[in-house]
């Protein structure tokens, strides 16, 4: 009688092959065309019922969508890079979400597991001290890199799919595997929630690997994600001859610069952590032209929704004031959003029990203190909880070669075995008789 761990060891070469393929053909948010098509192909081969594209991604709720030309170029590239043609068309236009369903036909709840698939907009290191470069699977797509382990997350989703189908006779109820696009910038979850992808889910678990958590440690109820609002601001002034008629100009660059300094001067909140970051500033057109256009890419964050709303409202006031100083107009466009996380204690307790059984897990804990970025899985968690279900977010610690979002980021691939076994146990050990 073989064990889950033994089955996973047998699967490990396939897991690393999947991960390294996703890593090499890294695709950013909303253009995960090849990635999604490959995922769909594997899930179909395993026997899952698939809902994809517009059936699980609401068009009008997508945030931070690239322009049509970018979508079309990335779609053509995916086809050229070998995306399985049978599955590719479902995702065209930026609908790269998948929900795979295993319905056992026996009474029981619906358990959902969510992974994200998108890469970051980053050029990967080509140095020999970076393993993916040394081993020949660094990203082949310029400006796109898996520097937050979403290639590992996608592989964990496929490994879990493989194992649960293998053990399906021991399951009851329904299993849903959610493969989400565009987590970076908190852009994709909102559209999957709006499409109803989370409706009917009784128990929801999202995952992340790394994040600075040491190898051997599993966090079972991450509650330190910050609510966040992502937005672009376009400033429009009046161009004029900088030497001859400066008084006729209205300087969009100065307005944006004023706004940037003002945004970073917003007072912190006494009740919890808050953040503001102006990540991008673009402005002007020529040395001797009073700049008529400027763009800021900004994010606000707060330990709670209320704190993030405080920062965002102050940010809008600062932007309006800076625009008034320079007589320019502004257009603010929302590009992403996520809420703070509130895991369900009963589900956290159950997940901790499952993680504690896995070889290689030295400690399974509920949470860590420090605010740790943001995650739009929090929107999925909130929807499940609003519907009366339970939800949590797990982090599987691992050794990292560099920090997340760094061009030399890499992780110890064996962490995928721990994550898959934990999630498989969560489904297989569910106390089906317990009131469901
Ligand atoms: O706000 C975003 O764009 C989402 C993005 N999310 C992540 O990077 C995932 C994440 C959440 N918490 C941590 C902590 C460390 C690394 C990564 C993460 C972030 O926080 O910038």
Q: Which of 146, 374, 376, 411 to mutate to test the pocket of ligand 1 (most atoms within 8 A of CB)?
A: 374
**Residue 68 burial by CB count (10 A; 0-12/13-18/19+): exposed, middle or buried?**
exposed
Q: Which pLDDT tens digits describe the chain residue by residue (436 residues)? A: 788 999 999 999 999 999 999 999 999 999 999 999 999 999 999 999 999 999 999 999 999 999 999 999 999 999 999 999 999 999 999 999 999 999 999 999 999 999 999 999 999 999 999 999 999 999 999 999 999 999 999 999 999 999 999 999 999 999 999 999 999 999 999 999 999 999 999 999 999 999 999 999 999 999 989 999 999 999 999 999 999 999 999 999 999 999 999 999 999 999 999 999 999 999 999 999 999 999 999 999 999 999 999 999 999 999 999 999 999 999 999 999 999 989 999 999 999 999 999 999 999 999 988 767 999 999 999 999 999 999 999 999 999 999 999 999 999 999 999 999 999 999 999 987 544 3
E strands within 360-401? 363-365, 390-396
Give the angle 428-360-183 at the CA atoms, nearest 5°.
Answer: 70
pLDDT for residue 368: 86
d(CA 217, CA 144): 29
> How many Å lie between the centroid of ligand 1 and the Cα of residue 225?
8
> How many Å lie between the centroid of ligand 1 and the Cα of residue 173?
32
pLDDT for residue 433: 58
Q: Which atom of ligand 1 is nearest to the CA of 228?
A: 1
Q: Which atom of ligand 1 is nearest to the CA of 403?
A: 16
Do 155 and 413 touch, CB atoms closer than 8 A? no
Q: Which of 185, 368, 373, 376 to mutate to test the pocket of ligand 1 (most atoms within 8 A of CB)?
A: 373
d(CA 22, CA 150): 9
pLDDT for residue 242: 97
Q: Which of 404, 405, 411 to mutate to test the pocket of ligand 1 (most atoms within 8 A of CB)?
A: 404
Two tokens, residue 55: 């059936």
Strands 174-180 and 110-116: parallel
Do 206 and 375 touch, CB atoms closer than 8 A? yes
Phi, psi angles (nearest 5°) of residue 8: -70, -35
Residue 73: CB partners within 8 Å, gap ≥ 6?
none
How many CB atoms are located within 10 Å of the residue 182 CB? Answer: 31
Two tokens, residue 400: 């990292």
Phi, psi angles (nearest 5°) of residue 194: -65, -30
Phi, psi angles (nearest 5°) of residue 92: -55, 140
**Residue 136 burial by CB count (10 A; 0-12/13-18/19+): exposed, middle or buried?**
exposed
b/e for 19-44, b at 16 or more Cβ within 10 A? bbbbbbbbbbbbbbbbbbbbbbbbbe
The protein residue with its alpha carbon nearest to ligand 1, atom 21, reads: 373
Nearest alpha carbon to residue 62 among 385, 376, 386, 378: 376
Residue 250: CB partners within 8 Å, gap ≥ 6?
237, 238, 290, 292, 326, 327, 328
> How many Å lie between the centroid of ligand 1 and the Cα of residue 195?
24
Residues within 6 Å of ligand 1 by CB: 148, 184-186, 208, 211-212, 228, 372-375, 404
Two tokens, residue 24: 């090499």
Strands 98-103 and 49-52: antiparallel
Residue 68: CB partners within 8 Å, gap ≥ 6?
none
pLDDT for residue 434: 46
pLDDT for residue 436: 38
> How many Å lie between the centroid of ligand 1 and the Cα of residue 348?
21
> How many Å lie between the centroid of ligand 1 and the Cα of residue 339?
13
> How many Å lie between the centroid of ligand 1 and the Cα of residue 248?
44
> How many Å lie between the centroid of ligand 1 and the Cα of residue 375?
6
Q: Which atom of ligand 1 is nearest to the CA of 184?
A: 3
Beta bridge partners of 293: 236
> How many Å lie between the centroid of ligand 1 and the Cα of residue 427?
27
Beta bridge partners of 296: 233, 281
Q: pTM value?
A: 0.95
CA dihedral 403, 315, 338, 51 (to 10 degrees): -110
Two tokens, residue 307: 């704190």
The protein residue with its alpha carbon nearest to ligand 1, atom 17, reads: 211
> How many Å lie between the centroid of ligand 1 and the Cα of residue 326?
35
Q: Which atom of ligand 1 is nearest to the CA of 405?
A: 8
Q: Which atom of ligand 1 is nearest to the CA of 222?
A: 12
d(CA 228, CA 74): 28
> How many Å lie between the centroid of ligand 1 and the Cα of residue 372?
7
């Amino acid at each position: 009688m073989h064990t889950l761990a033994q089955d996973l060891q047998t699967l490990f070469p396939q897991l690393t092959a999947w991960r390294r393929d996703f890593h090499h053909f890294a695709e950013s948010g909303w253009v995960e065309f090849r990635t999604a098509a490959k995922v769909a192909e594997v899930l179909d081969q395993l026997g899952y019922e698939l809902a994809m594209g517009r059936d699980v991604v609401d068009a009008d709720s997508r945030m931070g969508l690239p322009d049509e030309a970018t979508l079309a170029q990335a779609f053509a590239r995916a086809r050229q890079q070998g995306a399985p043609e049978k599955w590719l068309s479902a995702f065209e236009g930026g609908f790269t979400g998948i929900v795979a369903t295993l319905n056992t036909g026996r009474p029981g709840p619906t358990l959902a597991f969510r992974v994200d698939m998108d890469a970051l907009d980053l050029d990967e290191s080509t140095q020999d001290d970076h393993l993916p470069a040394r081993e020949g699977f660094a990203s082949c797509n310029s400006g796109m890199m898996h520097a937050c382990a979403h290639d590992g997350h996608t592989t964990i989703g496929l490994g879990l799919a493989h194992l649960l189908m293998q053990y399906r006779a021991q399951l009851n109820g329904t299993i849903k595997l959610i493969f989400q696009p565009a987590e970076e910038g908190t852009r994709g979850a909102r559209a999957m929630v709006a499409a109803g992808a989370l409706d009917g889910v009784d128990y929801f678990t999202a995952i992340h690997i790394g994040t600075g958590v040491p190898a051997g440690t599993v966090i079972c109820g991450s509650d330190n994600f910050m609510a966040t609002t992502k937005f672009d601001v376009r400033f429009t002034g009046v161009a004029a001859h900088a030497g001859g008629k400066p008084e006729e100009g209205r300087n969009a660059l100065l307005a944006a610069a004023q706004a940037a300094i003002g945004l970073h001067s917003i007072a912190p909140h006494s009740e919890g952590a808050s953040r503001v970051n102006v990540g991008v500033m673009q402005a002007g057109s020529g040395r001797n032209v009073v700049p008529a256009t400027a763009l800021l890419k900004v994010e606000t964050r707060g330990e709670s929704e209320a704190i993030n709303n405080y920062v965002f409202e102050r940010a809008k006031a600062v932007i309006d004031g800076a625009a008034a100083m320079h007589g320019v107009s502004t257009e603010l466009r929302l590009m992403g959003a996520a809420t703070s996380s509130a895991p369900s204690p009963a589900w956290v307790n159950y997940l901790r029990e499952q993680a504690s059984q896995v070889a290689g897990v030295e400690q399974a804990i509920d949470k860590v203190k420090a605010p740790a970025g943001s995650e739009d899985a929090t929107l999925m968690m909130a929807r499940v909880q609003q519907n009366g279900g339970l939800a949590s977010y797990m982090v599987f610690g691992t050794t990292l070669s560099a920090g997340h979002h760094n061009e030399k980021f890499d992780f110890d691939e064996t962490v995928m075995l721990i994550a898959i076994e934990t999630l498989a146990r969560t489904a297989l050990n569910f106390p089906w008789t317990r009131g469901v």
